[in-house]
Amino acid sequence: MTNRSIFLVGPMGAGKSTIGKLLAAELKLPFADSDKVLEDRTGADIPWIFDVEGEAGFRRRESEVLRDLCTGPTRVVATGGGIVLSPENRRQLRKNGLVIYLQASVDQLLERTSKNANRPLLQVADPRSRIIELVEERDPLYREVSDIVVDTDYCTPRQAALMVAERVAPGATGQ
């Protein structure tokens, strides 16, 4: 097993938070969700931060959280979908951990995010087109930073977590 943190990257709806919690339990590591850490620090939810500070303000705060999560104990970290937009964030991810890209089809991403109003970038008239646009922009960046790519379309979160655990720490899952 790696002694570096494991960072999960991918689009919103790929399962980073859900799979991350299961993976952390499987590997007996602490879990952190960068968006939750950001909300806890600011005392505000992400849509509110977007409304008040705009995306640029949110991204600045997100980078600060990532810098802090790159230090300290080894853990599993679910990152926000746009964490890879910053070249400095991509450098931090590659330098400080093992990066797992959780990918999913546009249909799956749309289905998984359709009932969640806590996603400011999807509060548009045509969420499908927005997801396509985000994936086209970010997929090359996710691939640039990732050590491992896992498709989450045709498996449960538990199955995805076990697949990642087996690739990160062969034999750790007892399978």
- Residue numbers in the known binding site for ATP are 13-18, 119
The count of C-alpha atoms lying within 13 angstroms of the C-alpha of 55, restricted to the half-sphere facing its C-beta, is 10
CA 26, distance to chain mean position in Å, is: 18
| 87 burial via Cβ count (<10 Å: 0-12, 13-18, 19+) | exposed
Alpha helices, H only, the chain: 16-27, 34-42, 46-69, 87-96, 106-113, 127-145, 157-168
Greatest Cα pair distance, the chain, in angstroms, is 48
Q: Annotated binding residues for Mg(2+), as ranges? A: 17
Three-state DSSP string of 142-155: HHHHCCEEEECCCC
Q: Annotated binding residues for substrate, as ranges? A: 35, 59, 81, 138
Identify whether the C-beta of residue 101 lies closer than 8 Å to the C-beta of residue 143.
yes
Q: Annotated binding residues, as ranges? A: 13-18, 35, 59, 81, 119, 138
